[in-house]
Amino acid sequence: MTFPSFSLSHELFPNLGTHQLIAKTTESTRNLCKSTLCLFLALAAPFVAYRGYQSFTMYRSSSSPYSPKTDAESLRRQRISSSKLHTPDVSSKAPVIYSSYYDISFLGIEKLHPFDSSKWGRICQFLISEGYLEKSSIVEPLEASTEDLLVVHTEAYLNSLKNSVNVAKITEVPPVALLPNWLVQMKVLYPLRRQVGGTVLAAKFAKERGWAINVGGGFHHCSGGRGGGFCAYADISLCIHFAFVLSNISRVMIIDLDAHQGNGHEMDFGNDERVYILDMYNPGIYPFDMTARNYINQKVDVVTGTTTGEYLKQLDKALEVARNSFAPELIIYNAGTDILDGDPLGGLKVSPDGVVQRDEKVFRFARERNIPIVMVTSGGYMKTSARVIANSIINLSEKGLLDTSVRGGRR
Ligand SMILES: [Zn+2]
């Protein structure tokens, strides 16, 4: 019986005697063992190190309060606690939030986007001129600072906005790519950061007064790590995180009735059981986000061409299901008006009166159960949108679902 290694040694060392051969074989076996051991150690080292790191992080997350997850959460709480966004005094104001800084107007560049970029100011003008709102009772929000934005956004995403090409892609205005970034920050991103401040402040107002309307905001395509569809900041996600910490809220329902899918907040709260998402949108238009769709608690398709009657019937059913599914302490209502018939992007055929009825249904849903509601105006790209939104707010006021007068004062 011959060991293959021995015969192999003879083949390798034909001129050696048996003793020498045994010695040589032992030496070569030892060398072989050494090499094998070295090879094994080299291969095993990263694995051992990785398992060691895993055990370490498991130990940290199971036995130490300072796990990476709790570190991130405590940093988030710290940022929210030191923010100034909730500081404006709202006690002597109407729960309507707006700043003239919202409106984007710059060398006519705004005309390149199918977006009435001064609709926010026009909504207020209608309400003021028709006696439903006093200019002095409107609350002006602060700009969301970088620290505020980091509550939800990654540093990498915020840094990407320092490149005008990226901002051009997000806002869908190609010429923005050619502008120096300081100008883009000042003329495009600053107004949007003011609107973010408005949505965050609205939650404080809603908790105190039962409702609040941010005349802007509703950038529902933006998540913490990604912007798109004219949405550069995730104001809805930010508002909710601020409400968790500063308003003692633990259950939030998002009712997203913009014509488009709200993939931004869906990505941000995908696995968060504190947030329930009802999204009623046209699945045949942007953003076709199949991943985010998985995170919608209640998805209602309203296909291209859906008319007013059918739309409102679907909404009634959806609100009934939502009523029996989740008990929120705050509702964020994303009230896009791009469901209007004639909107170049929404694809739906809802009449102006249908939008008024839609808003009334959602406000009834919230107000009849005393759930604070924040409304943001989101998409709505036609010149007629501002008039329709103002009419809707007037209708809510007439129906007693909101009161735009200053607390204790006369309208
Ligand atoms: Zn939209």
pLDDT one-digit tens code per residue, 162-191: 999 999 999 888 889 999 999 999 999 999
Maximum alpha-carbon separation in the chain: 116
Which residues surround the ion ligand 1 when the cut-off is CB under 5 Å?
A: 258-260, 336, 338, 379
Whether 28 shows a pLDDT value over 60: the answer reads: no
Which one from 221, 241, 260, 265 is the annotated catalytic residue? 221
Q: What is the DSSP string of 210-266?
A: SEEEESS---TT-BTTB-BTTB-S-HHHHHHHHHHHHS----EEEEE-SSS--HHHH
Token pair belonging to 16: 């050696």
Output the CA 290–ligand 1 centroid distance in Å.
17
- Bridge partners (DSSP) of residue 332 are 254, 374
Asked whether 233 and 194 are in contact (CB, 8 A), the reply is no
Confidence check: pLDDT of 29 > 80? no
**Nearby residues of 255 by Cβ (< 8 Å), 6 or more positions away:** 278, 322, 331, 332, 333, 334, 362, 365
**Half-sphere exposure (CA, 13 Å, Cβ side) for 304?**
8
Question: What is the spatial distance between Cα 52 and Cα 48, in angstroms, rounded to a whole number?
Answer: 6
Assigned token pair, 262:
């709200």
Give the span between the Cα atoms of 283 and 265, in whole angstroms.
17
pLDDT at 103: 85
Q: Concatenated DSSP letters for 11-68?
A: HH-TT--HHHHHHHHHHHHHHHHHHHHHHHHHHHHHHHHHHHHHHHHHHHHHH-S--H
Q: How far is the CA of 258 from the centre of ligand 1 (A)?
A: 5
State the distance from the centre of ligand 1 to the C-alpha of 411, rounded, in angstroms.
Answer: 32
Confidence of residue 381 (pLDDT cuts 50, 70, 90): confident
- What pLDDT was estimated at residue 68? 74
Q: How far is the CA of 406 from the centre of ligand 1 (A)?
A: 32
How far is ligand 1, taken at its centre, from the CA of residue 361, in Å?
Answer: 20
* pLDDT confidence tier of residue 116, bands split at 50, 70 and 90: confident
What is the C-alpha to C-alpha distance for residues 186 and 188, in angstroms, rounded to an integer?
6
Crossing angle of helices 119-129 and 385-398, rounded to 10°? 40
Q: 61-81, pLDDT tens digit by residue?
A: 344 455 777 889 999 999 999
Place of tokens 């309307």: 213
| Element spanning 278, H or E | strand 275-281
Total residue length of the chain: 411
Average pLDDT, the chain: 85
Closest CA to 167 of 185, 142, 149, 155: 185
Read out DSSP for 95-116? SEE--GGG---STTGGGGSSS-
Alpha carbons 300 and 251: distance in angstroms, whole number: 21
- Going from the Cα of 195 to the center of ligand 1, the distance in angstroms, rounded, reads 17
pTM above 0.85, yes or no: no
Helix or strand or coil: residue 78?
helix
- Sign of the C-alpha dihedral, residues 227, 229, 233, 238? negative
**Is the Cβ–Cβ distance between 254 and 278 less than 8 Å?**
yes
CA of 338 to the centre of ligand 1 (A): 6
* pLDDT at site 108: 66
Is residue 221 part of the annotated active site? The answer reads yes
Q: What is the residue extent of each domain of the chain? A: 4-63, 73-398
- Segment 240-253 mean pLDDT: 97
User: Which CATH code fits 73-398?
Assistant: 3.40.800.20
- State residue 8's pLDDT score: 32
